[in-house]
Structure 1
Amino acid sequence: MNTAREGWKSDPRGDAQQASNSPTDNTESPRWLQTAYSAASAPRFRRYALIYLALLILAWIGWRLLLHPPRLQERTSSELDDLIRIRTLDPQFVPSDLANLDADTKSQSQKRLIIVGDVHGCRDELVRLLEKVAFKQANDHLIFVGDMISKGPDSKGVVDLARQCSASSVRGNHEDRILRLRRMAKTGTLATPSGKDSSKERAERALASSLSDEQVQWLEACPVILDIGQVPGMGRVVVVHAGLDPGVELEEQDLLSVMTMRTLDPDTNLPSPKKKGVKWAEVFDKQQSALYSSLESSAEDPRSKTVTVVYGHDASSSLSIRTFTKGLDSGCVNGGELTALVIGDGGKQSIVQVSCRDYRKS
């Protein structure tokens, strides 16, 4: 019985010999590696490592919250409360529906909306564009899609010209940034300039401090969304800087996204400022086209049930004109064109452009 039991007991020497003869374990770890592994496995080492990591995290949090003054960070909901969400354009500026006018009125009606893409401080080009469209303030109303300022040589001149023309504009991401900079400087919450600031940051600080109170007041009065109302042949027309989240009502749109979006995230389907993704304008245009088709046989005026969005911001896509979305940022400040969408009575539309100097080389 004892002999049988001893037969299945393992022999330490036999095991050791068998292990040493294994073809898969014929190398021995270096002594320094064994020593390092042994030290790292010690409870005291792990305890000290966790303490040092916790101290490092606390130091970083303290630096962020106490020592590092706030810079331009993403907007929180409370910071967006001071923005004007939606403003409705005075109906007197909206082009007429010629079908409802008699012959005499038709001959006298000459209302036009001149909607201009991202100017970015290029005042000379704006003047040439207004001359090319034969802008007359008595009959025309000038509208900007935002980003009137920053980057170019004469942002203040652009604002003054817009004010002289009694123009309307929406708030772009660059207006938003410059106005925040100015407010932070006024309240003493802006970080002190340092040698690490980029030339872009220095230029933005200079612009923010150079704007007059009147110019700032005019810019702050610009809404994020401008509702033009019903335009013949275009349905309800809305002007924004960057885009709209398809399927979301105007009153529920996220204001930061309206000023910054380019695409829809393919995973979440939420607005994204990134260039990689599904173009929001493509989705919006398809949705409105489907809505129009579904109403075409039943509604008296199916086009009036749809929405057309005029926007800027996406210079990488340049001029992008679809049925229900009109992208007007054609890269003026980068040597592209400055674009105007001209909408006349009866909803007649035309695109007018002027060439621009490349101010990146200045």
Structure 2
Amino acid sequence: MSRLGNLGARLYRGEVGYDFVAKRKLWYAVSILITITAIAALAVRGLNMGIEFKGGAVFTTPATSVSASQAEEVAEEAAGHDAIVQELGTGGLRIQVSGLDTQQANSIKGEIAEGVQVAEKDITAELVGPSWGKQIANKAWTGLGVFMILVVIYLAIAFEWRMAVAALIALVHDLTITVGIYSLVGFEVTPGTVIGLLTILGYSLYDTVVVFDGLKESSKDITKQTRYTYSEIANRSLNGTLVRSINTTVVALLPVAGLLFIGGGFLGAGMLNDISLSLFVGLAAGAYSSIFIATPLVADLKERDPQMKALKKRVLAKRAAAAAKRDSGHEDADDALDELPEGAVTAPAGAVVGPRGRRGGRSTEKR
């Protein structure tokens, strides 16, 4: 078995672990900082909306010896607006200029033809009205709202309302970060970007639902035992699915990274950036939120329940009694350790721990 597979098995059995839930205030602080940065970027820089949302004209030329950078200068000088130029596989150019109406597009077509050294009649011009982009945006917002409502209803029925709230917060967190990254890097927002944003919602929920399902099974009849608090069970469930979450996220990120960095960056296929950046950032943010946001939030909300508060008191009281017996020396050390809950003899909270302590070759775990 590989090292990663062996680690996953040990995490699942609870032999090793990291106390994510205990450090939740740190994760919350990091997420709040990132979210504030994203919102600030949106407020200051805004989004670079594509021609589909602002309206304008798209000129397509036949094969030409003029470079994309030269054509961009020609188009911007003729139109007085920023232009985006992409090289086509046929050797031609796609020149996109925002904020033009029909009359303006016709007047600069000749100047563009002269600048790129082709005949005016060979250039095709396509006008895009801003109303079409508004329709796309409105439909996207409607789809997003419907999706959020359905997710909350499903999770509330399949699990419980606390998990539904935590998953919803994690989704908003992922979307905010993704849109903020678009604002920071200045990538153009197109209908492809909207598709990417809607696509990451499902990916974002995947890991979260996997952890929630394990937590639901682990917390059955939780009040009938006094070994673990709800937060500890939540942390054990999270550790049990940690390697699986990492594996699925890495496998999903690899092809998207190929689109973004090789296709969009190295090969210069800029249109791939529209969807690949949203997918890449959304997948990474979704994996982060399922581990560091969603599960700790559920634990926070659940620990406020009167039954969970009472359980925590019983667990802590039992541990204190067992520790007192051990320290007083009234009983054999091994017997005292047997009364301690599993994990009480591990390293300090928050550390990655090894196999639980053994004395005389006998496991300290109560059989």
TM category (shorter chain) comes to under 0.3
Higher relative contact order (CA 8 A, sep 6+): 2
Structure that is richer in strand per residue: 1
Structure that is richer in helix per residue: 2
Query: Which one has a bigger Cα radius of gyration?
Result: 1
TM-score (ref. length: structure 2): 0.22
